[in-house]
Chain A
């Protein structure tokens, strides 16, 4: 069994018993898809909400294009499109006290974009741990679909 590390602006798919992790999510958002029947998981670590206006760049960097690409890659390795469920984490506001402005509110916009694209694709969102002012390390187990979330000072939990 291997732990596959998903980098910044990156996405990967895995079959149990392999697991997927991404480290130190801040305002970026981590989106995971899971097919229970075939025990296949996918994870994307996205930085910006939409591919629109950035055509030609790495699709994994943007929430909307990354989810579609993740879905396609999972189906390619045997996942069933109809059975997919999603979990989403990250999208924090790392410098909480700062004034409202575009750059610092990017976490919120990333999380909203994630929920919007999942809705559009009719993929149910089983769990959502977004927002706050703290970083997160997440790990998806494609055996069970459990998503563990580790933080600094706020402990570890599974959603």
Chain B
């Protein structure tokens, strides 16, 4: 799965973007219920970027982020990693809990158990909707496991994705997701980390290998 050597990369990225948009549609309605607010979501960008660039796209390696990792098994095996910058993550949590937004730049800032659970639930909805779009489109199964949360430096969390992609090259596939109609715009980043066979299977199932 050397993505840079994928001859039909542009076509594949368009399809991932399309799938992402369908997933985003499902996620928006589910999230609207949870946050009790109308929201829209879109995937404006699906791209393959180098390791150096990706850290820049997301405000640098030391930025505090919330990362949620979900293990998937079935016809498709691998991981989905969702990254939210801490401010955006807390903005969603505050709305779901109907609390005032907390200052994430406070050196003593720490998530409460309730906030962690809320963030995991939101991420679960986002990733689940996205995964449903992929399985609907491809007819392949992918059952998500319980999500895991880590709040730390961007570079450290992203290493899960870059190491796996590192086996085949120096770049990573990601989908930028935008949520609107919240207190402000919130950006999330999805990283698909399929294993080699799953990527090939997905490309075939989506009819993209011709």
List residues of A whose CB falls within 8 A of some B CB.
7-9, 23-28, 47-48, 54, 58, 61, 92, 94-99, 101, 103-104, 106, 133-137, 152-153
Known: A94-B67, A94-B157. 11 other contacts (CB 8 A): A8-B51, A8-B55, A9-B166, A24-B156, A24-B158, A27-B163, A28-B163, A47-B159, A54-B167, A95-B148, A152-B64
Q: How far is the CA of A61 from the CA of B99 in the complex (A)?
A: 44
| Selected contact of A24 from candidates B150, B153, B170, CB within 8 Å | B153
A26 touches B167 (CB 8 A): no
The smallest beta-carbon distance between A93 and chain B, in angstroms, is 10
Contacts of B69 in A (CB 8 A): 95, 98
Query: Are B55 and A48 in contact, CB atoms less than 8 angstroms apart?
Result: no
- Contact check, A23 vs B155: say whether CB atoms are below 8 A apart: yes
Complex Cα gap A153–B106 (Å): 11
A99-B152 contact, Cβ under 8 Å, with A23-B62, A47-B163: no
A96 CB to nearest chain B CB (Å): 8
Closest CB in chain B relative to A158 CB, distance in Å: 18
Q: How far is the CB of A102 from chain B (nearest CB, A)?
A: 10
Q: What chain B residues lie within 8 Å of A135 (beta carbons)?
A: 152-153, 155-157
List A contacts of B64 (CB < 8 A): 152
CA distance A135 to B63 in the complex (A): 11
In the bound complex, CA of A27 to CA of B67 (Å): 14
Which of B55, B159, B162 has the most C-beta atoms of chain A within 10 angstroms of its own C-beta? B159
B interface residues, Cβ below 8 angstroms from A: 51-52, 55, 60-62, 64, 67, 69, 71, 79, 110, 145, 148, 150-160, 162-164, 166-167, 170, 193
Give A60 Cβ to nearest chain B Cβ, in Å: 11
Inter-subunit contact B170/A94 (CB<8 Å)? no
Are A94 and B150 also in contact (CB < 8 A) when A26-B155, A152-B64 are? yes
Judge whether B166 and A94 touch: CB under 8 Å. Answer: no
Residues of B within 8 A of A7 (CB): 51-52
* A47→B166 contact, CB < 8 A: yes
**Residue among B55, B62, B155, B160 making CB contact with A104, cutoff 8 Å:** B160
Determine which of B60, B153, B193 lies in contact with A152 in the assembled complex, contact meaning CB atoms within 8 Å.
Answer: B153
Q: Assess whether A26 is in contact with B157, with CB atoms less than 8 Å apart.
A: yes
**How far in angstroms is the closest Cβ of chain A from B86?**
10
- In the assembly, what is the distance between CA of A135 and CA of B153, in Å? 6
The answer, among B148, B166, B170, B193, for a CB contact under 8 Å with A48, is B166
Docked Cα-Cα span, A106 to B193, in Å, equals 15
B164 surroundings in chain A (CB, below 8 A): 103
- Contact yes or no, A24 B154, CB < 8 A: yes
Q: How far is the CB of A154 from chain B (nearest CB, A)?
A: 10
Contact: B156 with A25, CB < 8 Å? yes
Which A residues are in CB contact (< 8 Å) with B52?
7-8
With a CB–CB cut-off of 8 A, which chain A residues contact B170?
9, 58, 61
Q: Given the complex, which residues of B lie within 8 Å of A134, measured CB to CB? A: 152, 156
Cβ-defined contact, A137 with B153, below 8 A: yes
Report the minimal beta-carbon distance from B54 to chain A, rounded to whole angstroms: 9
Query: Which residues of A lie under 8 Å from residue B166 when comparing CB positions?
Result: 9, 47-48, 61
**Cβ distance A100 to chain B, nearest Cβ, rounded Å:** 12
CA of A152 to CA of B61 in the docked complex: distance in angstroms? 12
Nearest opposing residue in chain B for A106, CB measure: B163
Which residue of B is nearest A103, CB measured?
B164
